[in-house]
Amino acid sequence: MAAIPPYPAIPPIIYLEQFSIPTLDEEEQFLNYRFHEFCTQHCYPFKVFDSPLPALQMQNITILYGGNGSGKTTLLNLMAEKLKLPRRSPYNRTPLFDVYADMCRVHLAGQEYGYPEPIPYESRFIGSDDVFEHILNLREQNDALHLAAERAAQQWKRENAQSMKLDTRKQGGFDAFLIHMEARSSTRSRFVRHRAAEASREYSNGESAFIYFTEAISERGLYLLDEPENSLSPNLQLDLVRFLSSSAVCGAQLVIATHSPLLLSIPEAKIYDLDSRPVSVRPWYELDNVRLLHDFFYQHRHLF
C-alpha cells in the first residue's frame, strides 16, 4: 500500500511585504531645500540612520535587532504611522515626523497585481508604555476593589451587631432593611462577594504583561512589538516565544524590535542587525548580544 503523502505546508500569511525609508540622498535633498536652518537641531527622524538602510523584506516574523540608539523603535513607529495602525500610548514626535513617514514606502501583499491585501483591523502597535499602562490600570482597579470589599466587610459587621425591626420608614427604608437581612443571613465572605466585586487575582508585573500580549494578539493581523521582553522573566520570555511562534503559524504577522537573546531565538524569524555596517540579515547566534552572554557563561562554566 502506497504511503499517504503529507499535507502540504500552509504558507505563512504576510500583509506587509516590504518597508523602506528615504535614502540618505533623498533626506539631504529635502533638508537642504526646505528645512536647512530648522533641522540643525530638530530634524528627527531625519539623520537617525547614518548609513544606507536596505528595503526591509518582511517575513511572517521579522526582528529588528540593535543596541540603544540603533533606530529599531523609530522604524516601528514609522511603520505604524505609515500604515495608520492603532496604538495606545504617545511616542516621540517632531514637526517633521509625518513628513518623513510620508517619504517612507510600503509594499503590501498583492500590490503588484493591483489588489493589495488590506491590513486587518485587529492589527496594532504594542509598545512598552502600553504594557506598563495596562499594569498600572490593573493596580488601580484592584485597589478600588479591595477598598469596596473592606467597606462591605465593615457593613456586615455593623449589621450583625444590631437588630432592625420592620419599620422601614424610620430605619432607612426598605432597601436598608434588605441589606440588613442579607447580612444577618449570610456569612461574611458571601456578603462581601455579593456587595463588592471580588478582587481579581493579583498577578506579578511579568504575568500581567504576558497576559496582555496573549489578549492583544489574535490569530490574524499585523502586530508591531517594541521590546516585548520588558517586565518578563526568562521563563515568561520563553513562554512568549512559544506564543508568538504559534500566533505566526495561525495567521499573525509580527515585526519585533528586541535585543533579548531569548526572543531573538524565535524559530524561522528573519533578523535585521541594525548594528552591522551595512545593515544585514544575520542568524541569532551570531549577534553581539547573544555572543556576549555565551562568552560570559562560558567563562563561568565551572560554577554550573
Give the Å distances, CA to CA, from 65 to 34, 62, 129, 175, 235: 33, 10, 19, 62, 21
Query: Which H or E element spans position 252?
Result: strand 252-257
**Section 149-156 average pLDDT:** 66
Q: Cell numbers at residue 35, please?
A: 528645512
pLDDT confidence of residue 188: 64
pLDDT confidence of residue 199: 47
**Section 165-188 average pLDDT:** 62
Sorted by where each begins, the domain ranges of the chain are 16-122+218-299, 140-217
51-99 residue pLDDT tens:
889 999 999 999 999 998 899 999 999 999 999 999 988 787 888 899 9
Residue showing cell 471580588: 198
Q: Is residue 134 pLDDT above 90, yes or no?
A: no
pLDDT tier at 11, thresholds 50, 70, 90: low
pLDDT tier at 168, thresholds 50, 70, 90: very low
pLDDT confidence of residue 266: 95
pLDDT confidence of residue 115: 79
pLDDT confidence of residue 183: 67
Q: Is residue 38 pLDDT above 90, yes or no?
A: no
Lowest mean pLDDT among 9-13, 71-75, 286-290: 9-13
71 φψ region: left (φ > 0), alpha (ψ -120 to 50), beta (else):
left
| End-to-end CA separation in angstroms for the chain | 52
pLDDT tier at 8, thresholds 50, 70, 90: very low
pTM of the predicted model as reported, rounded to 2 decimal places = 0.77
pLDDT confidence of residue 300: 96
Q: Cell numbers at residue 226, please?
A: 517594541
CA 249 to chain CA centroid, nearest Å: 18
Backbone φ and ψ of 272, nearest 5°: -95, 120
Fold (topology level) of 16-122+218-299: Rossmann fold (3.40.50)
Highest averaged pLDDT of the listed ranges 35-44, 75-84, 147-156: 75-84
| Between residues 175 and 109, the one the model is more confident about | 109
